[in-house]
């Protein structure tokens, strides 16, 4: 016969089971923490790689953008300088720019609906045709600069987010 009574055996067995469960719990928690730490480290490395790729793309795209905008500005400035050649003083004298055209142009530039045209027989606006040509040329120059900016942004997005 055994010297240890049954209640004490059950208590010892319960303590052994609790110790095993506790040991397993602690080892499992350590394993989960190790997995967590590895995942965090991997994400940190991936974020660093993304930042590096973005920095490289930024340098390349900005350099190209600056060069393209410089070309656009040079061409636009040349076109604006040529306005007097293509729209000479004789053309200014021969063509009257009416107030309706000025209202329509200004509204279109502002992205708004134009005000009513007014009296069709009203006096000319006093605006020279060459001034209109210069303004339109400058507007197109700005439009082309903005288009280059958009192309550069699209290129940056492609290089940093799409081409992985």
- Count of C-beta atoms within a 10 Å radius of residue 94: 9
Please count the helices (runs of H) and the strands (runs of E) in the chain: 5, 0
pLDDT in the model for residue 31? 82
Question: Hey, what are 147's tokens?
Answer: 């288009």
pLDDT in the model for residue 6? 82
Q: What is the pLDDT of residues 67-100, one digit of tens each?
A: 999 999 999 999 999 999 999 999 988 888 888 8
Q: Which residues of the chain have pLDDT under 50?
A: none
Angle between helices 6-81 and 129-157 (to 10 degrees): 150
Q: In this structure, are residues 160 and 50 in contact, taking their beta carbons and an 8 Å threshold?
A: yes
Whole-angstrom distance, CA of residue 145 vs CA of residue 135 = 15
Q: Where are the domains of the chain?
A: 6-162
pLDDT in the model for residue 140? 94
| Entry pTM | 0.64
């Amino acid at each position: 016969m055994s010297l240890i009574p049954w209640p004490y055996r059950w208590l010892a067995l319960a303590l052994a089971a609790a110790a095993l469960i506790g040991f397993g719990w602690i080892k499992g928690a350590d394993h989960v923490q190790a997995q967590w730490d590895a995942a965090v480290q991997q994400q940190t490395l991936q974020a660093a790689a993304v930042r590096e790729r973005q920095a490289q793309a930024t340098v390349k795209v900005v350099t190209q953008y600056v060069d393209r905008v410089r070309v656009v500005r040079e061409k636009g400035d040349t076109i604006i300088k040529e306005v007097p050649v293509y729209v000479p003083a004789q053309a200014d004298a021969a063509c009257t720019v009416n107030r309706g055209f000025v209202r329509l142009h200004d509204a279109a530039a502002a992205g708004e609906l134009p005000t009513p045209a007014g009296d069709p027989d009203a006096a000319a606006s006093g605006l020279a045709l060459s001034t209109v040509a210069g303004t339109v040329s400058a507007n197109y120059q700005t439009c082309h600069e903005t288009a280059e900016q958009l192309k550069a942004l699209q290129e940056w997005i492609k290089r940093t987010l799409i081409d992985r």
